[in-house]
């Protein structure tokens, strides 16, 4: 046999290598075809998706004193929504007007916040009021001040009065001075304004002080809806307005503080406050320290959400917002039927001895 040359041996190795490579590729393709999914085979159907459970947001209706519009709509309401996932729905008006809506069936809130306890006792509690409320709790206290527009033509005198270098009533009684206040027929602050001026007459020994400043009790040139008074003041339509301290702070406007003996903010002056009276529809009431109250009406639609909201106002983040915005803390005292108060809220109440009226 003729020996194989070197080049011949190389051609034989190349041929074997080529044949082996082709065999491997063919094997791989065959294997892929064998184990892969047939081209026209039916694809397995994905498992049907279950519908996500619907998220429910409880619509919580809160009626509140109109002076609280800023703090309720800009701070407490949104904060409650974020904290609970519920939907806060607020309505601010004069407390008396709101209570009358509830009595007449035109409103059915889950929570009611009043600027005076007398609104609870006279318009919502008892058989004569269809037992719309069984209890209420004191929320915070406040005082009256004179808020003013810093661009008023009387601004210089108002600033002097704020520094107690000029009697405030000397400024307000000037000819042409425009004072704004709320309607005493539908708003407790309107009544408090009349009472404050009565007390000022006694305090300053000036029997005509009130009539020189406000004229008649229902002077239409001075009376504005509570929710519109801020706009009247800020736009210069009035030079000053009788306001709660928390309003002046929320509105970011300067204000004149009044002596404790007449500002209705000091419980220690309660005996003196009673010298002032207001008569409406044949019923006479005596002035009392300013106290805001909170309650859950008996016909509230969303009791659980209402309890959570009241708890927040008494001891949660909302209570801190109230103090930050100018309210003054006070013991949370329950009035009415204590046994009807939800257990969660009882933890925030002052001791019952001597503090609960049956």
187: CATH: 3.40.190.10
Nearest to residue 224, comparing CAs of 268, 262, 175, 186? 186
Q: What is the pTM of this model?
A: 0.76
Q: Encoding tokens for residue 271? A: 């005996």
Please compute, for residue 90, the number of CA atoms within 13 A of its CA located in the half-sphere on the CB side.
Answer: 22
Q: What is the pLDDT of residues 293-304, one digit of tens each?
A: 999 999 999 999
Query: What pLDDT score was predicted for residue 328?
Result: 93
Query: What pLDDT score was predicted for residue 53?
Result: 61
Q: Is residue 166 part of a domain?
A: yes
Q: What's the chain's length in residues?
A: 358
Give yes or no for residue 100 having a pLDDT over 70: yes
Give yes or no for residue 190 having a pLDDT over 90: yes
Nearest to residue 327, comparing CAs of 63, 64, 62, 61? 64
Mean pLDDT, rounded, for 45-71 = 80
Query: What pLDDT score was predicted for residue 17?
Result: 46
Are 199 and 266 within one domain?
yes
Strands (DSSP E) contained in the chain are: 59-65, 87-93, 111-114, 135-141, 144-148, 179-180, 240-244, 255-257, 277-280, 283-286, 291-295, 334-336
129/121 Cα distance (integer angstroms):
9
Whether the CB-CB separation of 124 and 99 falls below 8 Å is answered with: yes
Nearest to residue 290, comparing CAs of 316, 314, 326? 326
The count of domains in the chain is: 2
Are 97 and 230 within one domain?
no
Are 126 and 196 within one domain?
no
The domain in which residue 210 lies consists of 144-286
CA 356 to chain centre: 26
Are 130 and 155 within one domain?
no
Average pLDDT across the chain, whole number: 87
14/307 Cα distance (integer angstroms):
90
Percentage of the chain with pLDDT > 70? 83
Q: Is residue 354 part of a domain?
A: no
């Amino acid at each position: 046999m003729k020996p194989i040359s070197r080049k011949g041996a190389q051609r034989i190795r190349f041929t074997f290598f080529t044949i082996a490579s082709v065999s491997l590729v063919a094997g791989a393709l065959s294997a892929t075809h064998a184990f892969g999914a047939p081209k026209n085979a039916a694809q397995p159907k994905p498992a049907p998706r279950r519908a996500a459970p619907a998220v429910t947001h409880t619509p919580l209706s809160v009626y509140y004193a109109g002076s609280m519009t800023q703090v309720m709509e800009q701070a407490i309401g949104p904060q409650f929504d974020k904290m609970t996932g519920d939907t806060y729905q607020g309505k601010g008006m004069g407390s008396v007007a709101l209570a009358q809506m509830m009595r007449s069936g035109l409103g059915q809130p889950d929570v009611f916040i009043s600027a005076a306890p007398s609104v609870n006792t006279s318009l919502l509690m008892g058989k004569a009021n269809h037992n719309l409320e069984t209890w209420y709790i004191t929320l915070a206290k406040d005082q009256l001040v004179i808020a003013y527009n810093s661009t008023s033509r009387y601004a210089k005198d108002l600033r002097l009065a704020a520094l107690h270098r000029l009697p405030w009533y000397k400024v307000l009684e000037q000819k042409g001075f425009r004072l704004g206040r709320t309607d005493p027929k539908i708003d407790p602050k309107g009544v408090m304004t009349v009472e404050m001026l009565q007390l000022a007459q006694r305090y300053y020994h000036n029997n005509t002080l009130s009539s020189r400043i406000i004229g008649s009790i229902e002077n239409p040139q001075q009376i504005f809806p509570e929710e519109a008074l801020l706009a009247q003041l800020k736009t210069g339509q009035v030079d000053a307005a009788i306001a709660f301290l928390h309003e002046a702070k929320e509105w970011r406007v300067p204000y004149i503080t009044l002596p404790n003996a007449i500002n209705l903010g000091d419980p220690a002056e309660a005996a003196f406050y009673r010298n002032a009276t207001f008569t409406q529809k044949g019923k006479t009431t005596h002035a009392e320290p300013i106290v805001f109250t909170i309650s859950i009406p008996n016909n509230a639609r969303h009791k659980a959400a209402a309890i959570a909201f009241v708890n927040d106002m008494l001891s949660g983040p909302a209570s801190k917002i109230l103090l930050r915005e100018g309210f003054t803390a006070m013991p949370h005292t329950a009035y009415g039927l204590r046994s009807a108060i939800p257990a969660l809220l009882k933890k925030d109440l002052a001791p019952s001895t001597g503090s609960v009226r049956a």
